[in-house]
Amino acid sequence: SQQGEEDPQALSIQEGENATMNCSYKTSINNLQWYRQNSGRGLVHLILIRSNEREKHSGRLRVTLDTSKKSSSLLITASRAADTASYFCATGQTNTGNQFYFGTGTSLTVIP
């Protein structure tokens, strides 16, 4: 079974707006990562946040992590049409090496 669950399943916004997607997970984690996937191609790593971090930024991306609520959020600011993709969270657990559990993804559509 998959560890993470993203919310919402689908999101449609206008170019220039901000997009927020959430991820909830079930067990203790070592780190949480966000990936992007363009229409059935390979996933691209966006950002990694460790369990002892609360917030991390990378360009237009901002990720927060709340381990007490077992949840994370990804904010994409000033969205562009090129941001249209599916976004997945993946959790890494202690003692499982690089075995990551992916959620079901949020499909983001940015309308030009």
Partner 1 sequence: DAGVTQSPTHLIKTRGQQVTLRCSPKSGHDTVSWYQQALGQGPQFIFQYYEEEERQRGNFPDRFSGHQFPNYSSELNVNALLLGDSALYLCASSPGVFNSPLHFGNGTRLTVT
Q: Which residues bind partner 1 (CB under 8 A)?
A: 2, 4, 30-31, 33, 35, 40-45, 48, 88, 90, 92, 96-105
Our CB check for partner 1 shows the closer of 14 and 35 to be 35
Our CB check for partner 1 shows the closer of 12 and 18 to be 12
Rounded Cα gap, residues 21 and 73, in angstroms: 6
Positive or negative, the CA dihedral 87, 48, 98, 82 is positive
Distance of CA 40 to the CA centre of its chain: 17
* Nearest CA among 46, 38, 52, 49 for reference residue 72: 49
Min. distance of Cβ 15 from partner 1 in angstroms?
Answer: 25
Min. distance of Cβ 17 from partner 1 in angstroms?
Answer: 25
